[in-house]
């Protein structure tokens, strides 16, 4: 089908909330549809303009107003304070004014309120800047104009103790939620919640189970069947030819040695080895060897052979000797190998393949918050199929990233293999998930295009960096690259430290609007997709972020084009009709992709 027909079918699937396979099944069973008259044109509703408000006094009896007044009073006095004292004052004023206490721990509410006050102060100082910059730990007290102690600053910035997290935000049925299933507002942070968002997660998990996990499960069951059959054939072979996994019985005295084997082939292979010893008499029976020596030199040579046999056994060499003792030149060391039948080799390979499949975790890339709502839903599904899930989670807001790490530290088993990157997801993708937070990407005054920086200093153009990463990933030497391209070797070493591997599940809800930078990010991300991966996107459909277009087709077409460029085909997809996130219209689509062989 051509691109236009594909887009038409895709949009129909998204509108009805069905997969591509379900669409084709329905089309085959449906009688030919008759044309319907085109709907009458409707007048586009005008977007209501936001009212312009002047400064108004905040309501006197709300937690926000009370907290704001407390901060203002501390600022006026240039006071020195700590978080516990401020929380106690806030609690007292709530009680005196008979205002309902906010949900969750009060210290968490106060911490969030203090951080928001600092952020407002910074935003006012940077008025006119294109991008807002989050408040960092070093500038928190300065922006608040309150002298906070180090412990209070750490808590406000989201660095919580494991004991505090476990006390106030316990795991309920494996999720960070209360007994009613509502996600926590961890230290005042917003969580991705609501009817439509829950439906989106449910649809995503169902799609992952029916595509990615179904394929993994089928492969696992196939390997298990092959392994059972190979084991049965191997057992039958051993019963038929009398092979046993016992090598020899050894006795030795002053005059010689006696070795008795369970298998004649074992006896013959060692017999050839012993014949190479001068001044030694070797006699062999069906499954035994008798050897006597005429002098100490011959005795020493035989004992070296015996010692090699014993050491090979200690090192864990399989007990079945087979052709373990190959005849080499006289006085050479005895080799410890083991001849295996084709069936034994096949069983070992199948066990290795099965171990790699079940032991290698699936990789998840997503945008989460401190509640990890989407990740925990996907993790539950993956583990239900007998597999593991690890994650790389970019987060550019310092407080949110700290809160996420605090939760991970409090529940290490639930979040094993989960790592948080301190950077914007676009930058993380463009830099190929480099670990060093000192390395960044952006525009540098006086230079054309985007540059990779280290501690704010320009190092190389982004295009050159991505070519370097590709070369290093292919095995190029960091020292040679640094010397040939005139790049600091320390920076090349930093670039080597990246989050490796391809992603099996990608769930991003940040796509909106068309830009050259986002286009580069999408193309780079496609190269890190694993075979059979699921890529899901939620998109803001509002015209204000789509250059006046009330559509997200540009993004989907862009992603599909980049998939095709990398020889990746769309096996299936699912979407859902427009929904609201509480403020603006949103769209959702998920793709199951496969690499062409």
| Residue 437: DSSP 8-state | T
Q: What is the strand order of the sheet 280-284 is part of?
A: 248-252, 256-261, 288-293, 280-284
Residue 50 near residue 34 (C-beta atoms within 8 A): no
Q: What is the pLDDT of residue 331?
A: 33
3-class state of residue 432 by DSSP:
coil
Angstrom CA distances, 582 to 200, 215, 530, stand at 14, 36, 34
At residue 312, the pLDDT reads 62
Is the four-CA dihedral 480, 484, 486, 492 of positive or negative sign? Answer: negative
- The predicted pLDDT at position 318 comes to 41
CA distances to 423, 425, 460, 470, 495 from 453, rounded to whole Å, are 14, 17, 7, 18, 12
Q: What is the structure's pLDDT at 238?
A: 66
74's tokens: 């501390």
Annotate 354-367 with b (16+ C-beta within 10 A) or e (fewer).
beeebeebbbbbbb
What is the DSSP code string of 274-341? Answer: HTTSTTEEEEE-SSEEEEEESSHHHHHHHHHHHHHHHHHHHTT--S--TT-S---STTPPPP------
Structure tokens at 444: 């540098």
pTM of the model: 0.74
Those residues of the chain that have pLDDT short of 50 are 51-58, 242-246, 317-338
């Amino acid at each position: 089908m051509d691109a236009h027909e594909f887009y038409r079918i895709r949009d129909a699937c998204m509108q009805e909330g069905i997969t591509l396979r379900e669409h084709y099944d329905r089309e085959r069973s449906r009688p030919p549809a008759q044309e319907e008259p085109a709907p009458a044109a409707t007048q586009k509703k005008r977007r209501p303009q936001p009212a312009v408000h002047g400064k108004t006094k905040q309501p006197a009896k709300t937690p926000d107003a009370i907290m704001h007044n407390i901060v203002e009073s501390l600022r006026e006095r240039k006071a020195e304070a700590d978080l516990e004292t401020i929380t106690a004052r806030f609690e007292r004023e709530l009680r005196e004014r008979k205002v309902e206490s906010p949900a969750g721990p009060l210290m968490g509410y106060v911490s969030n309120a203090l951080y928001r006050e600092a952020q407002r102060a910074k935003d006012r100082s940077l008025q006119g800047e294109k991008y807002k910059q989050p408040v960092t730990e070093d500038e928190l007290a300065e922006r608040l104009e309150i002298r906070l102690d180090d412990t209070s600053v750490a808590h406000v910035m989201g660095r919580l103790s494991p004991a505090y997290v476990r006390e106030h935000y316990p795991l309920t049925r494996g999720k960070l939620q209360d007994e009613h299933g509502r996600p926590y507002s961890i230290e005042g942070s917003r969580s991705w919640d609501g009817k439509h968002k829950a439906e989106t997660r449910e649809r995503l998990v169902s799609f992952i189970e029916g595509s990615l996990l179904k394929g993994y499960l089928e492969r696992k069951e196939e390997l298990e069947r092959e392994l059972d059959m190979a084991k049965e054939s191997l057992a039958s072979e051993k019963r038929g030819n009398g092979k046993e996994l016992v090598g020899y019985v050894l006795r030795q005295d002053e005059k010689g040695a006696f070795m008795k084997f369970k298998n004649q082939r074992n006896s013959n292979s060692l017999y050839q080895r012993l014949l190479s010893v001068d001044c030694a008499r070797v006699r062999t029976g069906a499954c035994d060897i008798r050897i006597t020596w005429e002098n100490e030199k011959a005795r020493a040579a035989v004992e070296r052979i015996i010692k090699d046999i014993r050491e090979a056994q200690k090192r864990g060499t399989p007990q079945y000797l087979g052709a373990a003792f190959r005849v080499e030149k006289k006085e050479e060391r005895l080799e410890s190998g083991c001849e295996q039948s084709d069936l034994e080799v096949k069983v070992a390979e199948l066990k290795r393949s099965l171990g790699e499949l079940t032991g290698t975790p699936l990789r998840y890339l997503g945008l989460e918050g401190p509640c990890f709502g989407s990740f925990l839903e996907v993790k539950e599904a993956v583990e239900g199929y007998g597999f593991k899930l690890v994650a790389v989670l970019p987060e550019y807001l310092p407080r949110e990233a700290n809160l996420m790490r605090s939760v991970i530290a409090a529940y290490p088993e639930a979040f094993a293999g989960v790592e948080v990157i301190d950077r914007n997801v676009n930058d993380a993708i463009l830099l190929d998930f480099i670990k060093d937070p000192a390395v960044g990407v952006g525009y540098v005054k006086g230079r054309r295009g985007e540059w990779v920086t280290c501690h704010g200093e320009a190092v190389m153009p982004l295009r050159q960096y991505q070519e370097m990463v590709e070369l290093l990933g292919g095995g190029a030497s960091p020292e040679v690259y640094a010397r040939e391209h005139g790049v600091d070797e320390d920076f090349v070493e930093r670039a080597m430290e990246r989050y490796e591997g391809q992603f099996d599940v990608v769930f991003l809800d940040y796509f909106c609007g068309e830009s050259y930078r986002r286009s580069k990010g999408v193309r780079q991300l496609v190269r890190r997709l694993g075979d059979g991966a699921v890529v899901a996107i939620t998109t803001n459909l509002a015209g204000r972020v789509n250059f006046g277009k009330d559509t997200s087709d540009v993004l989907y077409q862009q992603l599909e084009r980049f998939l095709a460029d990398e020889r990746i085909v769309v096996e299936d997809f699912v979407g859902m009709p427009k929904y609201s996130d509480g403020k603006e219209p949103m769209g959702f689509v998920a793709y199951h992709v496969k690499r062409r062989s």
